[in-house]
Structure formats: structure tokens, C-alpha cells
Structure 1
Amino acid sequence: MAGHSILILSNRVPFPLNDGGSLAMYRMIEGYFKAGWDVFLFSMNTSRHFVPPDTLPPLFRQIRLETFDINTDVKVVPTVKNFLLSRKPNHADRFYSKDFETRLRQIIASFKPDIIQLESIYLASYIDTVRQACNAHLAIRLHNIEFQIWERLSEETSTGFRKFYLRDLAARIRRFEMDAWERADILLPITGVDANLVKQHVPEAEIMVVPYGFEISQTSAGMNGVWSAYHLGAMDWVPNAEAVSWFIEEVWPGVHEQKPGFHFYFAGRNMPYSFQKYNGNGVTCMGEVADAAEFIADKNILVVPLRSGGGVRIKILEAMAAGKLVISTAVGMQGIDEAIPGKHYLQADTVNEFREKLLWCLDNQTEAASVAQSGAVMVREGYDETKIMNSLVKQMSAFITQKETAARKTRR
């Protein structure tokens, strides 16, 4: 299986490893490298998530890596022009650069990859460039079904221009996303739920489901310290920000009133300054934390009050693997098909349900710990990184061989 080459394009440098997207990209890059593939990562180093290249871990020195500085800030004039004059989602326009496109052509010409993999649907603007530059097979990683996220956000927005804009944006993303699905050679969703949705719209798509995986030997399970709750996630992602605000404003007061010694901590990348207002009454805003594992080590309950989103919440799997008890909405658990509410996690979708589940945990710690332990066993059995990547590499290699064989027959 060794000897194949892959060029991975990402819309941000997958580091530090403190959010689900970075973790998922890093694990797959690592998996290809361990399988003996020649890996080239061409990564946008964005103004929003800029990472000094000299701070990257050893893996990035073992593969071929090139970063490309790009300003992806949301700006008023380009956003208005996009809304009025374009059918593309603004997200795609923000990640398009002629200079990036030129350098991409040069890399393809010199590297000659067997596979080119896009780590974001918003990089689909470069599909024509890839097709013109080479005959490599094009794969797209589906971290989420993006249009689902924005449709849910528009549904939850009551009235006014914001609702109109979100509805329009969701429709643009849907068209853009489905067009990319149809043009790709291989689609790599993270969940079976997402794979089924894609199949409904593109029945002929070549799909390989690739869940997020762990180095199982490095996971550890168990409750620690005084019982407290936490949320950890990128706070520049709208569903996370809205979920945390809803939980603190609607759910927490009733919990704090009955259990004043119980605390809730939340942290994440690009924490808006406005969230400092929530400090107090048992709530602590930690901002961005350098070490996610250290942050969660002395906390026992992960709260996931998501009401929109897609894909799979990698932080949930990490929490389960570490023996934490997860209390989540049905949306938050989307994609973790094996998880059974009441057995592997606790499900809560309303204010009262969240309050009841949290209070039950504090009053029934032995039973709550048992649920957490069941979740840990489920993750260890179903999300072994080595098995997942071995399966993907085998499928990818077979796909390449099949296409090469068909091409040789055609030339005859």
C-alpha cells in the first residue's frame, strides 16, 4: 500500500490541537504518513487562525508542508458585493485567492500526486484548477454537512434581515456543496448519517466513511476531583457561541439556585470578549486554553447544548474516551450512531431537561459515573485510529489501482 502520494489542501493550519477540526485533520495526515504515503500539506495560514510555522509539532517536519498567508477576515464591502452580485456563499469567496491558485498549480506540477484531498468544502472553488492541472483523483473531506448548519441557524432566528440573510446563505451553501459532491471522485464523510444524506442527493457518489479516531492506548477513563461541568469548543463557530449563551442564560440560573457549590467552566478558541459578562454565580469563562486535556482533567460533565450543527462533535468523543459524562442535545450527538441515551450519555433538549439531568448527576454520582464508563468503552471499541486509517488507506489504494487498470484498458 506504500508508495502513493497525496496533496492535502486545508483552509487553515491544523494546529494547535484544541478544536475538533484541527484534531480531525491532524489525525488523518498522521495516518497517511504512518501508512507510508508521501504527504504534502498545502495549508492556508489565515488572518483569523494564524499559526507561526516554527511552533508546529514534529509531524509537520516529517511531511512536506507549505503554508500560504491569506486574509480571510469578514469585511463589509466584499460581503455586500457577494450578497448582491454573486450566487456563491461568502465563505467560498473569502477562501479564494489567485496567488494561492497559481502556487497550487506549481505544486501539482512538481509533486504529481495520486490523490488531492480538500479538507473544506469551501475550497471547492479550486476544483477547476485541479482538473486542468492534472489527472489526480479528487477527494473531499466532509467534516460537516455545511448547509444543514446554516439552515438550522436560520430556522432558529425569529424575524428580520438576519433571518433573511441566513436563509439566503444556507441556500447558496446548499447549491455550492451539492455541486462539489457531484464533481468529486471520492467523498469522505465523518459519519454514516452524513454519508446517507449525501447518497440521497448524489446516488452515484464514491463514499468512504472515515470516523474520527483515537490512539486507544493513550485514552484514560475515570471521574476526577469535585464534580463540575464544562464546555470546550471554538467560540468563533456560531452554533457553539449561541449554545453556550443559551445554556448560561436559560439553564444555569435554575441549577445554580439549587446547587450553589456546583460550577460551570467554558473555554475555546477566539472567545469573544462579550462572554466575560457571564463570569460569576458559579460560571467561569476561561478564554482560550493552551492544553485541552489539562482543562478537562479535573471536570466530570461535558455539557453540549448545541441546537444547530452537523458532522460529529469530536470533543464529545474525546470526553467519553477520557471517562467524562456527556449531557447533550440530540443535535450534538448527531453522527455518533452507536451512542444510546441513558446508557452511554444523557440526552437533554430543553431547559428543564438540562436542569433535571445535571441535578440527577449530582444526586446520583455512582450511577452517573457508570454511564460515563459505558461511554468510554463504546469509544475505545469503535474509534480506534489505527483500524480506521488502515481501512481508509486500503480503500484509497484499491480505488487508485482500479482507476489505473481501467485507464490502461481504455488506452488499448
Structure 2
Amino acid sequence: MSPSKPSLLMLVHRIPYPPNKGDKIRSFNLLKSLSVNYDIYLGCFYDDAFDQQYIASLNQWCKSFYCLRLSKWQSILTGLTGFLTNSPISVPYYYVSAMASWVNTTLKQQEIKNVLVYSSSMAQYIDNKCYSKLNRVIDFVDIDSDKWRQYAQKSVGVKRWFYHREARLLQKYEVNICQRFATSLFVSNDEANAFKQLLPTDDQKRVHSIANGVDIDFFDPDKPLPAPTLPESFIVFTGAMDYWANIDAVSWFCSNVWPKLKQHYPNLHFLIVGSNPNVDVCTLAQLPGVIVTGRVDDIRPYIKQALFAVAPMLIARGIQNKVLEAMAMNKIVVCSAMAMEGINALVSSSVIVANDAEEFYYSCLKLMQQLPANCHNRQWIISNFTWKQTLSDLEKYLTTDVLQ
């Protein structure tokens, strides 16, 4: 009989399976890694009907789980109560009384000493004095309040006011949670150091970084892959296409870089690969050579067959999985400085950082004229960004004496 494992409560704002978008990639790998040595009690939501088919799969990694459907419109109405309480709307947006009841019951019935919260919006379920004796660890991933601040800078009128309000109140909430919880994790040293600047000196010791990684066995260009019908010559962007930062990136690229590139290479295509493209993204498909795929079964063939990948992020925090995945597939990447933050790969003929539209255009043009003979991006990922490497320190934070 195998020895019993300690129990761990894990709260995640979105079902961590399948790992097919940024936040789910990280939360899934945390879940998978911790399930080896912990009996995990997982509480999470799903907001996409597509994910319902995967709920039962959580049994592979969980002792028990509670996965609730999050109604978008109900959540919006609940979120608006933040105006009455002077709180960020993204916190009540994720509050459901049934989840609170499940958390309370689970903590009472199980001998749980450690709690891992994924994203600030789930902290509210254990942000209570009666749980102050627990070892509460929060993975903020990135400074979410700063993304709202970036949204505000790109908006006008009521939207600008609203985003500034959310940034200000959410930052206050993030700081308060950090001060009440034992440990706060971020996805990179850059992100952790930026957050430390918001804290009193005594609280900065609570903040640490655990980087994202790549499943190098899955993202392996030498493995046999599906063979969808694709254009002969194309460049690629991957990501969830209902996420504003991705929408902004491809819109900027199509306005400022793509027309000139297409003029020089009439047979070239630009593939935007990712789920749930919004109206603005779908409209881009009207441009010559632009193809919006929507959700695909497997993004790897699109990366593998592309000439190179682009990541022109103008709004970003943390680490861009799209860059790591393209590099793991040994693909050349042209990206903005923001897209390279937290990765800090050596700029070379295989990793090109462009600071504005002109640099982006000429970098792409140069690659079109001649691709480098050798690309060493996959080897760099294997040496620096496997999940085994990046999660090696995770369990040390799930101890009650981490601050001593």
C-alpha cells in the first residue's frame, strides 16, 4: 500500500485542461507537477462550452475536484457590484457562492495545510482570518493590474476611465493579498522585481519567481505531425484570439507591417492561428493574404511549416508562451521587446527583437530574402526552459516555514 500524500487545495479561475492557452498551460503544469507528491483538491471554473468535454479528465491529477460553469452575463452583473464596494470588478466577477461553500466544506473535512491560488481573482475564497493559519501561496503569474493600465493607455473616454479605475483598485488588492499570504509567485524575475517595487521592504521577501516552461516532448519538430492543407509560403502568429493583447498585436502587424511585406512577396500569407477570434480579428481576413484559422486541433503543424513566427506584442506582461513554443519547434522568431521580456534569449539571427514598425518590416524582409542556415532555438529552450527546470523550486514554497 502506497503511503498517503499530503493534501493540497488548488484554486484556479479557469479549468487547467487542456493546456491550450497561456494561463491554462501554466496552471496545468503546476497541477501535473504537484499531483506527484500531493493529493489535490481542485476548485475551478470553465467559461467556454468547448472545455466541458475535458472536465472528467481532471481525475488523472486530482483526488477530488469541483468545476463550475461560469456564466458570462451573470459574472458581469456580479462584477459590477465592485462599483458599490469600491473594489476591482475582476474580483466579484469570479465570485460564486457555490464555490465558496465547496472551499469551506473541503477545508473543514480534509487535513489541508497548504493552499495554492492561481490568479488574484481566486484569492477571495480563502482571504479570511479563519484561514490565516494555512500556508497560502498565490501565483499571480504576472502583474494583472499593469495590463489594465496598458489597456487604459490605449483607450479613450469612458473606457480609459474604467481601465484606469480597474488598474488602481486591482493593484491595491494585489498588494493586500501579497501582504496577507505567505508567498507570492510570478512568472519571471522581471515581473517579481517589478511587483516588489510596490511593497514595503519587509514584505518583499514574500515574492519569488517561477518561470513558465515548454513541453519539449510535445513541441518537437521531429515528431510526426498532422498535415493540414496550408499555403506554400506563410508566417504565423499563435494565441487565443479573444485576448486583447493578441488582438492588438495582429491588428498592429496587419496595419503597419503586412501591407509592405505582401507587396514585396505577393504569394506570402499571414496565418493568425488561435481560438475564438473576435470581430476585429475576423475582419483582418479580408486583407490580401491574411488567413484567420480560428480554433485548430493542433497548432504544431502551423508553427513547423511556417517560414518564421512573429510576436509583435505591444501589450504584455510575464512570459509569452507563443515565443517559447515557436522556439521549441526550432522556429525563428521576430518579436517586440515586450514579447521577449522574461525570456531574455540571446538576440541572434534566430531571435530577432524589433522595436518599431520599420524594424519589424525590415527584419521580416531580411528573413524572406534569406533564412539563416542554422537555427539553435530548440537547443536553447532545452537548456533553459523545460518544465522540469522551471518548476524545480515549486514545492519548497508549500511549507509552513517558508518565511522563517
Distance 2:174 2:331 in 1: 35
Instruction: Report the equivalent of 2:51.
Output: 51
Instruction: Report the equivalent of 2:104.
Output: 105
Instruction: Report the equivalent of 1:262.
Output: 268
Distance 1:169 1:402 in 2: 31
> 1:332 Cα deviation (Å)?
1.3
Unaligned runs of 5+ in 1: 407-412
The answer to whether 1:171 aligns with 2:173 is no
Instruction: Report the equivalent of 1:231.
Output: 237
Match of 2:389 among 387, 396, 403: 387
Confirm or deny: 8 A CA contact 2:21 2:239 kept in the other structure: yes
Confirm or deny: 8 A CA contact 1:109 1:133 kept in the other structure: no
Q: Counterparts in 2 of 1:75-94, with a 5 A limit?
A: 82-83=82-83, 85-94=84-93
The answer to whether 1:27 aligns with 2:29 is yes
Q: Give the letter aligned to residue 293 of structure 2.
A: M
Show CA shifts across 1:217-262 (max 9, x none): 554357x995421111112221111111111122211111111111
The answer to whether 1:193 aligns with 2:190 is yes
Match of 1:311 among 309, 318, 330: 318
Q: Give the letter aligned to residue 315 of structure 1.
A: K
Tell me the secondary structure at the aligned position of residue 51 of structure 1: helix
Change beyond 3 A, Cα 1:59–1:356: farther
Show CA shifts across 1:331-361 (max 9, x none): 1111113x12235511123221111111111
Q: Counterparts in 2 of 1:196-235, with a 5 A limit?
A: 196-202=193-199, 203=201, 204=203, 205-221=205-221, 226-235=232-241
> 1:54 Cα deviation (Å)?
5.0
The answer to whether 1:362 aligns with 2:368 is yes
Change beyond 3 A, Cα 1:162–1:333: same
Distance 1:50 1:132 in 2: 37
Instruction: Report the equivalent of 2:136.
Output: 138
Tell me the secondary structure at the aligned position of residue 240 of structure 1: helix
Show CA shifts across 1:18-58 (max 9, x none): 21111111111111123x22122111223x46622556547
Change beyond 3 A, Cα 1:384–1:171: same
Distance 2:365 2:61 in 1: 48
Change beyond 3 A, Cα 1:70–1:197: same
Tell me the secondary structure at the aligned position of residue 392 of structure 2: helix
Distance 1:133 1:79 in 2: 24
Distance 1:118 1:271 in 2: 29
> 1:312 Cα deviation (Å)?
0.7
Change beyond 3 A, Cα 1:295–1:18: farther
Instruction: Report the equivalent of 1:96.
Output: 95
The structure carrying a bigger helix percent of its residues is 1
> 1:111 Cα deviation (Å)?
2.4
Change beyond 3 A, Cα 1:292–1:332: same
Identical pairs, percent: 20
Q: Give the letter aligned to residue 25 of structure 1.
A: S
Q: Give the letter aligned to residue 325 of structure 2.
A: E
Distance 2:328 2:100 in 1: 40
Tell me the secondary structure at the aligned position of residue 331 of structure 1: helix
Tell me the secondary structure at the aligned position of residue 18 of structure 1: coil
Change beyond 3 A, Cα 1:402–1:143: closer
Instruction: Report the equivalent of 1:184.
Output: 181
Distance 1:27 1:77 in 2: 32
Q: TM-score under structure 2 normalisation?
A: 0.88
Show CA shifts across 1:304-336 (max 9, x none): 111112111112111111111111111111111
Change beyond 3 A, Cα 1:173–1:304: same
Distance 2:215 2:387 in 1: 6
Instruction: Report the equivalent of 1:242.
Output: 248
Confirm or deny: 8 A CA contact 2:304 2:331 kept in the other structure: no
The alignment yields a C-alpha RMSD, in angstroms, of: 2.7
Unaligned runs of 5+ in 2: none
Q: Give the letter aligned to residue 90 of structure 1.
A: I
Distance 2:192 2:317 in 1: 12
Change beyond 3 A, Cα 1:169–1:218: closer
Instruction: Report the equivalent of 1:410.
Output: none
Change beyond 3 A, Cα 1:294–1:14: farther
Show CA shifts across 1:96-139 (max 9, x none): 1222111110011122222111111111222334x424732111
Match of 1:156 among 154, 157, 160: 154
Q: Give the letter aligned to residue 38 of structure 2.
A: W
Distance 2:187 2:316 in 1: 14
Instruction: Report the equivalent of 1:40.
Output: 41
Instruction: Report the equivalent of 1:8.
Output: 10
Distance 2:62 2:177 in 1: 31
Distance 1:44 1:110 in 2: 22
Distance 1:137 1:80 in 2: 31
Tell me the secondary structure at the aligned position of residue 391 of structure 2: helix
Instruction: Report the equivalent of 1:400.
Output: 400
